[in-house]
Amino acid sequence: MSFGTPGPMRQKLTALVLSGHKTATAGLLDHDYNKEQEELEHVGEELLVVDSDANAVAVIAVDSVEILPFARVTWDFADAEGEGFESLEDWRLGHAEYWASEGVAASEETSVVCIRFHVVSGGAP
């Protein structure tokens, strides 16, 4: 499992995971899973977290997986992403801009995979 794009973004997001501040992540069903022919994570699955240099830095365990329309993602989930968004609208704008930079336009109906997790090993004590 890697978070964001390699470089400063991935470094920041990985640090948030390791510190325990980031306990959720969102991906696009069509772009990140269907297009890439990736299977959805499942509850209890343990995933190796890698940094920008592909070094293993932690293991996380999946606590929940939910697919929601972009417009129905809750503030509780957005806040659990730990990225400093100040409101749900701020979270939506940030994610829409990120996905647009990846060549994907997210609409209110776009299916978002919402994953909650906890660090099993490698994080803050």
pLDDT one-digit tens code per residue, 41-64: 999 999 999 999 999 999 999 999
Q: Share the mean pLDDT of the chain.
A: 93
> Parallel, antiparallel, or unpaired: how do β-strands 111-121 and 56-69 relate?
antiparallel
What is the mean pLDDT of the segment spanning 4-24? Answer: 94
What does the block give as tokens for 23?
């306990």
Alpha helices in the chain (DSSP H): 8-19, 75-80, 88-101
pLDDT one-digit tens code per residue, 90-107: 999 999 999 999 899 999
Q: What is the pLDDT of residue 25?
A: 97
Query: Does position 124 have pLDDT exceeding 70, yes or no?
Result: no
What is the mean pLDDT of the segment spanning 100-121? Answer: 95
Reported as a pLDDT band with limits 50, 70 and 90, residue 113 is: very high
Exposed/middle/buried for residue 101 (C-beta within 10 Å: 0-12, 13-18, 19+): exposed
Reported as a pLDDT band with limits 50, 70 and 90, residue 37 is: confident
What is the mean pLDDT of the segment spanning 13-25? Answer: 96
Amino acid at 18: L
Q: In the chain, what are the domains?
A: 8-121 (3.10.400.10)
